[in-house]
Amino acid sequence: MNTLREAVTDYLAMRRALGFKLEKPGVGLLDFVSFLEKHEATYITVAYALEWAQQQSSVQPSLWAQKLGWVRGFARYRSAFDARTEIPATALLPHQPKRARPYIYTDEEIQKLLAAALQLKPASAVLKRQTYFCLLGLLAVSGMRPGEAIGLKMKNVDLVAGILTVEGAKFGKSRLVPLHASTQKVLSDYKLCRDKVLNGRSAEYFFVNDAGKRLHFTEVHQNFYLLSRQIGIRKPDSSHGPHLMDLRHRFAIEVMLRWYGSGEDAERRLPLLSTYLGHVNVSSTYWYLTAFPQLMGAAVGRLEKRWEEQP
């Protein structure tokens, strides 16, 4: 019979082969096995799982629940090989973290954000200005995750067909993102500017800095915070405020509101939006219905209209 350390290695390899990245869970489960080894335990018990998950008394209860969840998944796997394995019940440490309600940008705020991007300093940084103008605009109209847009390579951008290919998104999935003709034109103009500044130098990524290198995620966030403070949607001394990911949430909500407004069956079309956004399951998309009053109001309005139409 494999040792627990061998078993957790096999378990993580199997999950990763299915597309799960498991960075934190992987480190956590290896630490859990070390904890069991320290206590000379040869199989998983609920008592040890709870003790390990709650070792840090200063952290949020949601972290305890998350860590116990990692163990629960591993224990289910291990129980097929070792009948002594105890699987922690889902009722143990049931705390669920609250999902933060995103900031929904107005059309005016997005226009101000894009205009401010074209004024980034220094004045000579033509490529930098165009890069952030196009990057922020693409996030606003495509619903892409910031990391997906930043990670676009030249081979992923087909400006003739108007298609972006997102590779290696969550769970290793790839998907196609069609572009509106206006977005296609803006990105084509950016490429001309980009190629002119690079002056023949090759660059693997589509969005680049003046050196032709990929944008750093931290740098992108810093510039976004600078721009959001300039236009007044983030306070000068505040560490909290709108995020880049909120542009993705706005896109999803706008799509759903348009469906409701045009009389479309939004609930039936949700799986299409879920696929387009690259959600792992449709429940991630259904979350928008309960998180935003305007969407819930539109759904209720559609239901009331259906009742009125029935004889």
DSSP codes, 208-242: B-TTSPBPPHHHHHHHHHHHHHHTTSS-TT-S-S-
DSSP lists the bridge partners of residue 157 as 164
Write down the CATH number for the domain with range 107-230: 1.10.443.10
DSSP 8-state secondary structure symbol assigned to residue 153:
B
Between CA 277 and CA 143 the distance in angstroms is 7
- Write down the domain spans for the chain: 4-78, 107-230, 245-309
For residues 28 and 10, the answer to whether their CB atoms sit within 8 Å is no
Q: Is the pLDDT of residue 116 over 70?
A: yes
Report pLDDT for 308. Answer: 52
Helix (H) or strand (E) holding 157: strand 157-158
pLDDT tens digits, one per residue of 245-270: 999 989 988 888 888 777 777 778 87
Instruction: Assign 13 to helix, strand or coil.
Output: helix
Return the structure tokens found at 49.
């799982």
What value does the mean pLDDT take over residues 120-143?
93
Q: What is the pLDDT of residue 301?
A: 56
**Confidence tier at 194 by pLDDT (50, 70, 90):** very high
Q: Which residue has the higher pLDDT, 263 or 145?
A: 145
pLDDT of 179: 95
